Amino acid sequence: MWGNCMRLYGASLAIVAMMTGLLTGGVSMADENAYGLVIHGGAGTLTRENLPPETEAAIRKALGDALYAGHRMLAGGGDSMDAAIAAVVILEDSPLFNAGRGSVYTWEETHELDASLMDGRDLSAGAVAAVRNVRNPILLARKVMEDSPHVMLAGEGAELFAREAGVELVDNSWFDTDFRLEQLHKAKKESDPSAMLNPLALDNKFGTVGAVALDRHGNLAAATSTGGTTGKRWGRVGDSPIIGAGTYADNASCAVSATGHGEYFIRHTVAHDVCARMAYREEPLSVAADYVVMDKLDRAGGDGGVIAIDARGNIAMPFNTEGMYRGYRVGSDDPVVLIFRDQ
């Protein structure tokens, strides 16, 4: 009797999990030999009306290119970390996203970039914060992980390390784009003095990029890169370079990359929380990710979303904003690129 009850309870949990997953972007593949890649280009209050068709097409193409680059490596037996980085570098080099080339402006009209990555095999990780002259911060984060005894380097010290590590450096103006400058000017004009203390009130279109990957050897990796938030001041750093907040990967559970209002993601250690719920509560990925983003974070007032993949190739992409630039390709299935909830 009790056994039947438990089985029924288990079955209903599975149905609820499946339905929640379907509602918020979970895809269940569950294959022992699965491999796959999920990417994002930021979440926010995107509306169809505010997105000109040419920009939408360019964004979809860039997401498709990033997916292609990373997935091709995985299909050929490549490493999840290499695949995640390959995808992120393409998005960093595109002026369309708030990372690398298209980074937003600080209040002082400069750019300060953050990035992090984590290897689920052994929990090794690397991160950089507030760098101004590193073309691809994700490549510097990898150097921190592989060639230094540290996890995170910030500001001038990180730049010095970049020089020694032979990472490509550029002038800060390399990140300039007219579109982002207009965004800052508009934000400054619209802001009231109190908004200066809360620069995020100025702009809730997050454009961080990220990738999570599972390779054919069962290894998970996560990578995230951002220009932060428009009009940020005082060396503000968000969740993207914080291991556990914006990025986390553990072969025992899942790999997660986040985008959204960083302060909330830091307070709620969002990326790690998804993995922890899988590890400690044995929740399926879609249930864990949905709870953290759609319930916990949402109740706290934090906007944004995550992409996640687990060791069996299940993926989840919940977001509590209007849209999230995202794409995935699992195994030999067709690639999928999405912006709004349904397309």
DSSP string, 66-81: HHHHHHHHHHTT--HH
- Mark whether 259 is an active-site residue: no
Identify which of 173, 155, 303 has the alpha carbon closest to the alpha carbon of residue 234.
Answer: 155
| E strand or H helix that includes residue 304 | strand 304-310
> Per CB under 6 A, does 318 bind ligand ASP?
no
Least distance (Å) between residue 18 CB and ligand ASP: 28
Mark 289-308 with x for binding to ligand ASP (rule: CB under 6 A) and - for no binding.
--------------------
In this complex, which beta carbon is closest to ligand ASP, that of residue 98 or of residue 183? 98
Mark 246-265 with x for binding to ligand ASP (rule: CB under 6 A) and - for no binding.
-------------xx-x---
DSSP state of 205: B
**36-44 sheet: strands from edge to edge:** 152-154, 124-131, 113-119, 220-226, 209-214, 36-44, 323-330, 336-340
Least distance (Å) between residue 208 CB and ligand ASP: 3
Measured distance between the N- and C-terminal CA atoms of the chain, rounded to whole angstroms: 45
Give how many residues touch ligand ASP by CB under 6 A: 14
Identify which of 89, 109, 85, 84 has the alpha carbon closest to the alpha carbon of residue 101.
Answer: 89
> Per CB under 6 A, does 208 bind ligand ASP?
yes
Residues 153, 157: Cα–Cα separation, whole Å: 7
Question: Could you tell me what percentage of the chain is helix, strand and coil, using 3-state DSSP and rounding each to the nearest 5?
Answer: 45, 25, 35
Identify which of 20, 83, 4 has the alpha carbon closest to the alpha carbon of residue 277.
Answer: 20
Q: Beta 124-131 vs 113-119: how paired, if at all?
A: antiparallel
> Per CB under 6 A, does 28 bind ligand ASP?
no
In this complex, which beta carbon is closest to ligand ASP, that of residue 78 or of residue 302? 302
> Per CB under 6 A, does 321 bind ligand ASP?
no
Given the residues 20, 24, 106, 208, select the one marked as catalytic.
208
Angle ∠(157,233,169) on CA atoms, nearest 5: 35
Listed ranges 20-28, 56-64, 206-214, 274-282: which one lies at the site for ligand ASP (CB under 6 A)? 206-214
Mark 214-243 with x for binding to ligand ASP (rule: CB under 6 A) and - for no binding.
------------x-xx--------xxx---
Indicate which single residue of 98, 225, 257, 321 sits in contact with ligand ASP (rule: CB under 6 A). Answer: 98
> Per CB under 6 A, does 203 bind ligand ASP?
no
For the annotated catalytic residues, the residue numbers are: 208
Which residues bind to ligand ASP, rule: CB under 6 A? 42, 98, 206-208, 226, 228-229, 238-240, 259-260, 262
